[in-house]
Amino acid sequence: MDSTAFRDQFTEIRDACALAQAIVDTVREPVLVLDKDLRVIAASRSFYSAFKVSPENTQGRDLYALGDEQWDFPKLRELLENIIPRHGVMEGYEVEHEFPDLGKRTMCLNARQVFYEGGAGTTILLGMEDVTDRHVLEREKDELLRQKEVLLDELQHRSSNSLQIIASIILLKAKTVESEETRVHLQDAHKRVMSVAAVQQQLHGSGGGGPIEMVPYLSRLCETLAASMIGDMRAVSLKVVGEGGNATSRQAESLGLIVTELIMNALKHAFPDDKINGRISVAYEVQGTNWKLSVADNGVGKPDGLFAQAKTGLGTGIIKALAQQLGATVETTASLEGTIVAITHATFATSAIHAA
């Protein structure tokens, strides 16, 4: 309804006043209507209820004199006497004040100056919302989040220590057994426990609660793996390529474990003769919400150049299980130039085919 239609419908002043009071009373938050001298013209029912005052002691009185001058404080004066005259409107203006019957409260004030045709003075609409409880809940939430972070840090620390202890026990046991086959299995178990510890360490360093930037995360993980699994004794380089892409903490953990397994497999099988200038490359590609992870090496590969046959070892089983959890497929290609294992999210593969 435009202003002309509004005036035509409410030609009687009493009708217009009744409508205005009904609108004020309908608003759930306390509302005051003030004249240019900051005297109360009208107040909403919610105002009387919230501040435990009566219409007789409110209407026609100076705002600052209401309720034993409980509304006379500097921030409110600043709003009504300086900000509103200059700007005409103010929203979300928070004030904190000690009210006699309510205690210390935080009020969010919205004020608007209303001008009338013919220059018949102005009025100010002052709406207020008690946000004290909301602020208390926000502070409690922030404190709970802080405590959660402390507990997660402690859990990460304890988990890391536990994994290190378990790995040390396994390694000590591997040195004492007589069976070479058992020793090899224990050494593999030691490496896997250490790989889990490395993944957890890098996740924690990446802020494991929120989205994980995959390329920096994989880069730090591979730096750790290179230091622990390659060192200075083998002429094998390990690098990460790619850009962009985020994952949840759980997805990043699974991808990190997959990368670790593939690197362990490459170091174990691709370079049996300590090949000089061995290379392992980890690539992470992104298309929208889809992704592809691949680990390639320039090791011995497969002489016939065909797709590598599926293996049934523990590492292969772990990789397939983790890929299945991620809704991805595993494809291994081996040739005289080395081996590539690609973990591809299903929709990434579909979109790549359509794009081609």
Tens-place pLDDT, residues 164-201: 677 777 778 788 888 888 888 887 777 777 767 777 66
What's residue 340's pLDDT? 93
What's residue 227's pLDDT? 78
What's residue 149's pLDDT? 72
For 97-127, letters b (16+ CB in 10 Å) and e give: bebeeeeebbbbbbbebeeeeeeeeebbbbb
Tens-place pLDDT, residues 210-245: 688 888 888 888 888 887 777 666 788 889 998 778
What's residue 15's pLDDT? 60
Instruction: Tokens 């000590």: give the residue.
Output: 172
* Cα–Cα distance for residue pair 329/327, rounded to 1 Å: 7
What's residue 152's pLDDT? 62
* Cα–Cα distance for residue pair 246/163, rounded to 1 Å: 27
* Cα–Cα distance for residue pair 346/331, rounded to 1 Å: 12
CA distances 5 to 11, 12, 22, 118, Å, are: 10, 14, 19, 19
- In this prediction, the residues of the chain whose per-residue pLDDT falls under 70 are 1-22, 24-25, 117-120, 152-164, 195, 200-210, 231-233, 273-276, 302-314, 346-356
Could you give the domains of the chain?
Answer: 3-130 (3.30.450.20), 137-355 (3.30.565.10)
Q: What is the value of pTM for the model shown? A: 0.52
What's residue 330's pLDDT? 92
* Cα–Cα distance for residue pair 106/139, rounded to 1 Å: 13
* Cα–Cα distance for residue pair 241/314, rounded to 1 Å: 27
What's residue 305's pLDDT? 38
What's residue 353's pLDDT? 42
* Cα–Cα distance for residue pair 78/72, rounded to 1 Å: 11
What's residue 297's pLDDT? 92
